[in-house]
Amino acid sequence: MSTLQEIIVRRALYPLWALYEHPGLSSYLQEYEATQFWSPDRIRDLQWSRLRRLIRFAVENCAFYNRRFREAGLSPEDLRTPKDLLRIPVLTKDEIRQHDADLMPVGLPPNSFVPNFTGGSSGAPLRFNVSRRRWASRKAMTHRHDRWCGIDIGATVGQLWGHPTERSGLSRSEQLRQSLLEPSVRLNTFDGREENIEEFLEGLRRHKVTHLLAYARSLRLLVEYLVSHLKSVPDLEAAVTTAESLTTEERATIERVLGCPTFDRYGCREFSVVASQCEARDGLHIAAETLLVEFVVGDRHAEPGEPGAIVVTDLLNEATPFIRYLIGDVGTPMEGTCACGRGLPRMQMVAGRITDFIHTPDGRWISGVAVNTYLISQIPGIRQAQIVQQRCDHLLFRIVPLAEGYAEPGPFLSERVPAIFGRHMTHEIQWVDRIAPEPSGKTLVTVSQCGQLHGFRQADSQKKEDVLHAGTRS
């Protein structure tokens, strides 16, 4: 049940802020609440209309796409069916890095977009722009998908997420706005020490938090802590997991210990939310009003249930048009409609991101996703990177350099490694030609050869088994 403060925020304060800061956000949210229940055919018609408009804009205004379509012997009018999309070459991360200026539309006003970056699902960093209109629509889409698991605007959410500078770098007014309009109890994934976990658990109780939003393996680590310390959590209604892969067994253990369902979410910095589970939890609904997601096998589209490379087109972002972007993950399209009644297409993830935690000499646990997002994405002059923790006081950076003219990352890492991991952490750089994925297709961005529970005081093994089978609530 919503508190009075949540109702005031949701119905009055948040809409007023959105009107001032992100014009269009409220209307986008209203639109998406309606379109999710359109028929599949109507949603496809909307996608195709937006796709045609985007491609015409990109060809007319972006030197990269003008050249790409000309070299492929294509014009926007040639695209009549989904099969025609296969004639457009996929957009790769290397191409975005090499042609970033040509991907920007001619005459784009400097105040019309927001710069963004990503560490990439495979440790390949990327920089791009998001139009302010698209930024508002992304935020609205996130709110819609949050509502599927019970999180509404103004609710206090427990977050295992982010980086300390995301908040410390904010102005006082921005911090006040965030704490009022988007309240959260946060466990900094750059500092998973026991005292911080305890403070997080106390915050969940104090603020009566009912929902968690977490990097998937950070939530797994929290559950391992609860089990090893025989700790409990307040009554939770749901936990949303994203950014990393969990095995079926890991997800079952998390649900058993937390006593609530988990909702899987697939997203990335390039597009924000791509797909999420609804209350039926039968596949992930794609945000099809704003994204066109293809599953590609060779020179054809995958059949339902067949794994394919995920290729995404952002239908609304004109600041850096992503047309048939090869994101680096693998998924399968699903057949039929969901029992929830939504007409949105569904998918399943097959192979995605997986990271280990880095354990620092001073006793901190640092999420591999956070390292990927806030360190790897910032390393200059690289195509891809992987961090291997060989000892608890040493990191090996395996780096694939850009083909030519790359900057030397040594000075950058000499500054950032002690700042992030502590002054007792040493490191070295190993130049490699490629970083191969695992046999499963997953790319390990961070690999720790230290025990993943090193530093946690362990409970009696029989008591741990009791907790795992009964949950941690008293």
pTM: 0.80
Reported as a single tens digit per residue, the pLDDT across 140-162 is 999 999 999 999 999 999 999 86
168 lies in some domain: no
387 lies in some domain: yes
Q: Are 100 and 127 in contact (CB under 8 A)?
A: yes
220 lies in some domain: no
129 lies in some domain: no
The per-residue pLDDT for 450 is 75
372 lies in some domain: yes
C-alpha to C-alpha distance for 136 and 151, rounded to whole angstroms: 18
- Residue 293's contacts (CB-CB under 8 Å, 6 or more residues apart) are 274, 275, 286, 310, 311, 312, 345, 347
Q: Are 301 and 366 in contact (CB under 8 A)?
A: no
The CATH number covering residue 401 comes to 3.30.300.30
Domain with 425 in it: 355-448
142 lies in some domain: no
Lowest mean pLDDT among 181-190, 357-366, 427-436: 357-366
Q: Does the pLDDT of residue 235 top 60, yes or no?
A: yes
Q: How confident is the model at residue 471 (pLDDT cuts 50, 70, 90)?
A: very low
If one compares 280 and 167, the residue with the highest pLDDT of the two is: 280
Q: How confident is the model at residue 12 (pLDDT cuts 50, 70, 90)?
A: very high
The per-residue pLDDT for 229 is 92
The per-residue pLDDT for 404 is 63
280 lies in some domain: no
C-alpha to C-alpha distance for 62 and 137, rounded to whole angstroms: 22
425 lies in some domain: yes
- Of the spans 157-171, 178-192, 289-303, which averages the highest pLDDT? 289-303
Output the six-digit token pair for 425: 């952490």
Q: How confident is the model at residue 464 (pLDDT cuts 50, 70, 90)?
A: very low
Mean of pLDDT values over 373-401: 89
Mean of pLDDT values over 269-280: 96
Residue with tokens 């988007």: 182
Q: Are 278 and 148 in contact (CB under 8 A)?
A: yes
Q: Domain tally for the chain?
A: 1
The per-residue pLDDT for 451 is 54
C-alpha to C-alpha distance for 275 and 332, rounded to whole angstroms: 12
Reported as a single tens digit per residue, the pLDDT across 410-436 is 999 999 999 999 999 999 999 999 888
